[in-house]
Structure 1
Amino acid sequence: MACTVKEIVNLQIFNIAKVKAGTAFLDKRQVDWMAVIESPVENFVRKQEFVLTTGMGCAGDPQLLFQFVKDVYESGASALAIAVGRYIFDIPAEIIRYAEENEFILIELPWELRFADIQRETMKEINLRQEQFSQNAIHIQKMLIDFVIQGKDLKDILLYVERELHCVIIFADSKGRLKASNEKPEEIIQLWNDLEVNEEMNIDESVYRQVQMIPYKNGYLLKKDIAAQSDDLVEGYFIILVENNTFLNHNMLQVLESLSAAVALWISREDAIVRTEIRLRNEFIWGLAKTPDRSLDKNIQSRAKVFGYNLNIPYICMAGYSENLDDLTKEQFSGTDFGFKSIIYYIEEEVRYAASNVNKQVAFTFDNNRLIIFLEAQSDTQSIVHHFLNLVDKRLNMLIPGILFTWGIGMHKDGMMQFYQSYKKAHSALDIGLKLNSPGERINFEDTQLNRLLLHLANNAEVKDITLSTIAPLLEYQEKREMNLIDTFIAYDNQNGNVSQASRVLNLHRQSLLYRLRKIESLTNLSLDNPDDVFLLKISIKIWLTGTLKKDREKNYLQNLSE
């Protein structure tokens, strides 16, 4: 511990000194240094400094002496010792009263006591105490590193430092997770938050870098940030409750710095373990998803049990993909491996949080920048799935603002050990959603019968030729005149051929819409009054909208027409 004024005045050299004010606070004032100061004080006195003076600049002027004592007190000095007998013969009662009222320690020294001798003996004691504490701090630092190497829990590490510093320490990260030996860490966190917003409280940040201090009862509360050691680690902070007038000094801060380093090392070690566990868990689920006809044998069951999965229940699969993930994560997760891989562990945590909210089992993996989620299925599966995905999207938007995922959903038969087939269906539904350019949509495989039929047709060479020959004139006209006749026909067809309703949907004048419809007929040589022609145009547009027809094929065909 640091030296107190009481320990200094108990030195033999102070035997003939007299404490004139502040006796009750001798053991409550810390001394970091001793200095000789004469008037004026200005900014030459530091906090927690033991000041010696002869009063030379105040000789014969009680008011000057009073102002000098006041300035020393307001500078934050621990005590003031005035040598009497030459410039000051008696310390005025007014000054002693002022010191008592302000709990300031005032000491009278006989003139014959040399300042050099006082400083030598005092600094010897201070330096001895600091050396002892530094050695202890080095020992604590070594012990903390040993604790991390031995795999001790963070709670044990905090408890060790608490016993050394006689305080209570709470560690919290930015995700709200707490570590403490105290039974109610949330109360101490809340206490800091309440005091921090109290305008009457004075938060001292001026003396110690990265440390905030708020007085509390007979002690104080500290908040110290802990910086992450890499881009992948979550930053955190300590809340330290110090009671019983324990002093905050540089030696104590040295221990807190050692604790910060040890905690960062502990987090790094735990992070590596967690990542390994997550990787093995994800590989297991991906193995189920990519392997057809996988049976629930003893090996699969034992591995599932190790990873905490229950394979004896049905699962529905959701496959998700985001086109804007890399762009949004370049700045937030900057580094050599930004984007999907660097944040997949955070994403999995949000997925598991959402599953816990709907009270369902969940299994998670990823492949080729796609999220693959298997969620426990029941009779109300569809409503649960959408509630679950709402939570996932909300949580991911909190993690990466602006992120937008497209989801494909699929479940084969009853979902019991149907990981492969369910994934194939979800994957197919997602592909359809991406080809239809529907970012943020959720496509259920069971609702994609028409799309799957159109995709199958689009892969037939003869169907491709018929489709392009039908809509190519419309595409060519659109490129030259910037008039989208395909959207015009879709709106017209959706309104069952009602020109008035279609014109309102397109925000066009009726005559303008009729002109466009006649243009469609003249370019395609089809009649919109002929049901067969309408069907041919409609099916051609639907196949073209699947995106399967390659753009280069389109361009080549249009070039041939123009030649």
Structure 2
Amino acid sequence: MSLSAKDMLRQPILQSATVKSGEQWLEKREIEWISVIEMPVENFVRENEFVLTTGIGCHGDPQLLEQFVKDVIQSGASLLGFATGRYVFDIPDRIIKLAEEHHFIILDIPWEIRFGDIMQVVLEEINQDKKSERQRTEEIRQELINDVLQNKGLQELADVLHKHIQLPIVITDYTRHIRASKEIEMKTLVKFKNNEKTLVSPATSPQVTYLEHPLYPHIESYLVDEQKWYQILIATNHRKQGFLWFKLEKDEQLTWFVMNVLEHTLTACALYFLKENAIEMTEIRLKDNFILQLAKQKNSNQQHLTSKAELLGYDLTLTYICIVGDIRLREETASFPKFKRDNPPTSSLQSLNYYIQKEITNAGKLIDRKTMATFDEGEVIVYLETDHHLHTETANQFLDTIERRLNELLTEVELSWGIAAHKNENGGFHESYSEAKTALAIGRQKMGPGERTFFKDTRINRLLMAISSDEEINHIVKDTIKPLIDYDKKRQTDLIHTFMTYNKFKGNVSQTARALNLHRQSLLYRLRNIESLTQLSLVNSDDVFLLELSVRLWMLRKIE
């Protein structure tokens, strides 16, 4: 505690001094400075100052003396000591009454007591008090840091802070989630949980007795449950980690001691969050590496994998489907995605992964399914728990939930999905990943971006992929389709797409023209061009089959 007026009056040199007003406030008035001053006061007196005066500037003028006392009171001084016997013999009753009205302390000090002796004693006490406070705050700092190093949590830090400053405390992370609290009413705690608070505007800071403290400008005031709370940001390396909240009683002031304890607590909380982040990042890396190992390596030691999975919180005995997602910008977007909500302070790609990972976790919880997910070079890999024979329903329900949320958050990003059922034999995770990736590639080529493709629905494409490696077949495909490719490239047309659309509608010219938004005669002109370039007839079923097969194989070669 700071030096109080009562402590000061216990000093032998002031034993003969008489308290003329404010005796009941002696214990509450703190003394941080001491000075000697006469008229005028102006701005020469600081808050919590012990002011000594002889009254020489007011000699023989009671009104001037009264104004002098008013000025000292308004300055925020703790008490005023008159050296009586030369210029002021008796302190007037009206001045004593004035002091009582303002809860102000006035001392009557005998003239023979020298001001220099009083100042020496008081300054020694102030210095000793400051030294004790510094030592005490250093002990508290060490206690807080040791708690973090001993793996104690934020609640223990809140307990230590409350023990030393006796104020209601709340600690939240940057998302406003409450991590610790102490001496706070339940209804107020609910307000914090629901983020029901209002910034006080214009901003008002708490009363302080030590304005020079560097923490003071960073304190913000809010109304929570109709009570004024103060917030200080917890940050590390310019990264916002959370907030420390406290509440003062009415007319209570922030002392130098409290400000320093708050500052040390902020440091301890920042260290805790750094440690928590490091542990979380290590766990994430271990999980990412494990899932990548599942997906990209054919593992034969199933028992080893199962044991490692259990340590990471995964259960490989469940049935999973593998979902591979491709993250791309929409064609009309020239820059990386902009987020509709506050981003964590990381790169754009990390922010994107952060939101997708968050929605994967939330979607799994919503449909009550376990998930294992990771990212690799713009690709998201998800293993989703499912029941036998419910692969399609589970996957669609899961992806519907994710896409609904991501469409709100990420306006310029589109995701395509490939889905494959899990294989029960060893290496099944690797096989299902390979199949899901194949389905994704086929789906993007066949239907374009933003679609979902199930591996079980790609049999014809996989059959074509199987025969596409034959050199003779590739030679036939090249001879058949190359004239169309060259023509499209040279004339900036799309005869290949025209043919596939025409074939889709089984040779119906009217439906094809509507689908391509072409005039009937323009479509017929294109069809004649296709026949002329390929030397194939579009009314001959064998020629149409050859051309369609060639186009499909050419499109598959673009996948590989």
TM-score, normalization: structure 2?
0.77
Q: Among the aligned pairs, what percent are the same residue?
A: 36
Partners in 1 of 2:9 and 2:370 — Cα distance?
68
Counterpart in the other structure of 1:171: 171
Matched, 1:267 2:266: no
Q: Out of 359, 383, 389, which is 1:374 matched to?
A: 383
For 1:209, what is the secondary structure of its paired residue? helix
Amino acid at match of 2:234: I
Amino acid at match of 1:157: L
Tell which deviates more after alignment, 477-486 or 7-16. Answer: 7-16
The answer on whether the counterparts of 2:329 and 2:336 sit within 8 Å (CA) in structure 1 is yes
1:145-164: CA deviation from partner (whole Å, max 9, x where unpaired): 32233333332233223212
The answer on whether the counterparts of 2:81 and 2:109 sit within 8 Å (CA) in structure 1 is no
Counterpart in the other structure of 1:248: 254
With over 3 angstroms needed to count, the CA separation of the structure-2 counterparts of 1:89 and 1:237, relative to structure 1, is: same
Counterpart in the other structure of 2:155: 155
Partners in 1 of 2:401 and 2:83 — Cα distance?
73
Structure 1 residue 43: deviation in Å? 5.2
Structure 1 residue 514: deviation in Å? 3.9
The answer on whether the counterparts of 1:225 and 1:238 sit within 8 Å (CA) in structure 2 is yes
Q: Out of 450, 463, 479, which is 2:460 matched to?
A: 450
The answer on whether the counterparts of 2:484 and 2:496 sit within 8 Å (CA) in structure 1 is yes
For 2:125, what is the secondary structure of its paired residue? helix
For 1:409, what is the secondary structure of its paired residue? strand
Partners in 2 of 1:57 and 1:507 — Cα distance?
100
Amino acid at match of 1:361: K
How many residues of Structure 1 are paired with residues of Structure 2 in the alignment? 540
1:27-83: CA deviation from partner (whole Å, max 9, x where unpaired): 445443344566666655544445556677778888877777666666555556677
Structure 1 residue 526: deviation in Å? 3.8
Partners in 2 of 1:220 and 1:7 — Cα distance?
32
- Where does structure 1 lack aligned partners over 5 or more consecutive residues? 551-563
Amino acid at match of 2:534: T
Amino acid at match of 2:381: I
The answer on whether the counterparts of 2:191 and 2:224 sit within 8 Å (CA) in structure 1 is no
With over 3 angstroms needed to count, the CA separation of the structure-2 counterparts of 1:11 and 1:355, relative to structure 1, is: farther
For 1:3, what is the secondary structure of its paired residue? coil
For 1:235, what is the secondary structure of its paired residue? strand
Matched, 1:477 2:479: no
For 1:408, what is the secondary structure of its paired residue? strand
Counterpart in the other structure of 1:228: 236
TM-score, normalization: structure 1?
0.76
For 1:312, what is the secondary structure of its paired residue? coil
Partners in 2 of 1:215 and 1:28 — Cα distance?
27
Partners in 2 of 1:445 and 1:123 — Cα distance?
84
Q: Out of 366, 373, 377, which is 1:357 matched to?
A: 366
Partners in 1 of 2:415 and 2:452 — Cα distance?
9
Partners in 1 of 2:512 and 2:89 — Cα distance?
103
Q: Out of 450, 461, 471, which is 1:461 matched to?
A: 471
Partners in 2 of 1:397 and 1:5 — Cα distance?
65
Partners in 2 of 1:56 and 1:488 — Cα distance?
107
Amino acid at match of 2:198: E
Partners in 1 of 2:58 and 2:479 — Cα distance?
107
The answer on whether the counterparts of 1:54 and 1:87 sit within 8 Å (CA) in structure 2 is yes
1:387-398 pair list within 5 angstroms = 387-392=397-402
Amino acid at match of 1:312: T
With over 3 angstroms needed to count, the CA separation of the structure-2 counterparts of 1:167 and 1:393, relative to structure 1, is: farther
Partners in 2 of 1:404 and 1:183 — Cα distance?
48
Q: Out of 411, 419, 424, which is 2:429 matched to?
A: 419
Matched, 1:318 2:326: no
Counterpart in the other structure of 2:106: 107
Structure 1 residue 361: deviation in Å? 2.0
1:422-444: CA deviation from partner (whole Å, max 9, x where unpaired): 22222222333455584443222
The answer on whether the counterparts of 1:225 and 1:237 sit within 8 Å (CA) in structure 2 is yes
1:254-277: CA deviation from partner (whole Å, max 9, x where unpaired): 222222222232333333334444
Matched, 1:306 2:311: yes
The answer on whether the counterparts of 1:455 and 1:548 sit within 8 Å (CA) in structure 2 is no
1:464-491: CA deviation from partner (whole Å, max 9, x where unpaired): 4444444433333333333333344444
Structure 1 residue 341: deviation in Å? 7.8
Q: Out of 215, 218, 235, which is 1:210 matched to?
A: 218
* Alignment RMSD (CA, Å): 4.7
The answer on whether the counterparts of 2:158 and 2:182 sit within 8 Å (CA) in structure 1 is no
Partners in 1 of 2:534 and 2:43 — Cα distance?
91
Counterpart in the other structure of 2:146: 146
The answer on whether the counterparts of 1:79 and 1:106 sit within 8 Å (CA) in structure 2 is yes
Structure 1 residue 377: deviation in Å? 0.3
Amino acid at match of 1:226: I
Structure 1 residue 135: deviation in Å? 0.5
- Where does structure 2 lack aligned partners over 5 or more consecutive residues? none
Structure 1 residue 131: deviation in Å? 0.9
With over 3 angstroms needed to count, the CA separation of the structure-2 counterparts of 1:363 and 1:215, relative to structure 1, is: closer
Counterpart in the other structure of 1:555: none
Structure 1 residue 407: deviation in Å? 2.5
For 2:236, what is the secondary structure of its paired residue? coil
1:266-322: CA deviation from partner (whole Å, max 9, x where unpaired): 33333333444444444444444445474754x555444333333332111122332
For 2:217, what is the secondary structure of its paired residue? coil
Partners in 2 of 1:391 and 1:40 — Cα distance?
74
Partners in 1 of 2:482 and 2:354 — Cα distance?
47
With over 3 angstroms needed to count, the CA separation of the structure-2 counterparts of 1:10 and 1:532, relative to structure 1, is: farther
For 2:232, what is the secondary structure of its paired residue? strand
For 2:316, what is the secondary structure of its paired residue? coil
Partners in 2 of 1:157 and 1:185 — Cα distance?
19
Counterpart in the other structure of 2:136: 136
For 2:558, what is the secondary structure of its paired residue? coil
Counterpart in the other structure of 1:190: 191
Structure 1 residue 384: deviation in Å? 3.4
Tell which deviates more after alignment, 350-359 or 491-500. Answer: 491-500
Amino acid at match of 2:494: N
Partners in 2 of 1:401 and 1:8 — Cα distance?
68
With over 3 angstroms needed to count, the CA separation of the structure-2 counterparts of 1:536 and 1:145, relative to structure 1, is: same
Partners in 2 of 1:213 and 1:137 — Cα distance?
25
Counterpart in the other structure of 1:124: 124
Tell which deviates more after alignment, 314-323 or 280-289. Answer: 280-289
Structure 1 residue 227: deviation in Å? 0.8
1:66-85 pair list within 5 angstroms = 77-78=77-78
